[in-house]
Copies of this chain bind each other. A is one copy, B any other.
């Protein structure tokens, strides 16, 4: 086996999403993804256990950053301010490459029930990570669960706007997620 190859991971993600979009998720094999990325199958498996995990590879990083941001928010921060701090921290993990992949990823997910299921569980896991971090701050459980639900909604809405908009180079992901969270906070006043 060769030495670790810089850039292979990112090339694999781009190759996979391109193939999923061109020919569908189910019809795409690990061998095809590796070939398109110009690496061996062994290299694929050094980075990802299987093709599905490739699509949610960033989840652990997001989860860790959300948790850290919430834990390190000032003691005086409200539950939603702590969630905002977590979302802001998590946004730093999303590169311009993440933004460009957004619409293609969305198309691949829309075409595959399996990917929709994986994506739904990813959001449940992110919400659970936020809830645990909030409860550790002393936030009561129902409030923590609710604040986390708002956080997941804000992340999804902000990411969609960031990656689907045609406003190239118009700022960081956090600039889309935090206003979405604020909009949801405002909406919570009109639930009745």
Q: Are B143 and A153 in contact (CB under 8 A)?
A: no
Interface range for A: 20 to 34
A123 at the interface (CB under 8 A from B): yes
**Interface residue SS majority, chain A:** helix
Q: How far is the CA of A142 from the CA of B185 in the complex (A)?
A: 9
- Given A142-B183, A150-B146, A153-B145: A79 and B191 interface contact (C-beta under 8 Å): yes
Q: Are B188 and A79 in contact (CB under 8 A)?
A: no
Contact of A143 among B113, B147, B191 (CB under 8 A): B191
Among A81, A146, A183, find the residue whose CB has the most chain B CB atoms closer than 10 A. A146
Q: Are A192 and B120 in contact (CB under 8 A)?
A: no
Q: Are B121 and A192 in contact (CB under 8 A)?
A: no
B contact residues around A187 at 8 Å (CB):
140, 142-143, 145-146
A106 at the interface (CB under 8 A from B): no
A166 at the interface (CB under 8 A from B): no
> Can you list 14 A-B pairs, Cβ within 8 angstroms, ordered by A?
A117-B120, A140-B190, A142-B184, A142-B186, A142-B187, A143-B190, A145-B184, A146-B184, A146-B187, A146-B188, A147-B191, A149-B149, A149-B153, A185-B191
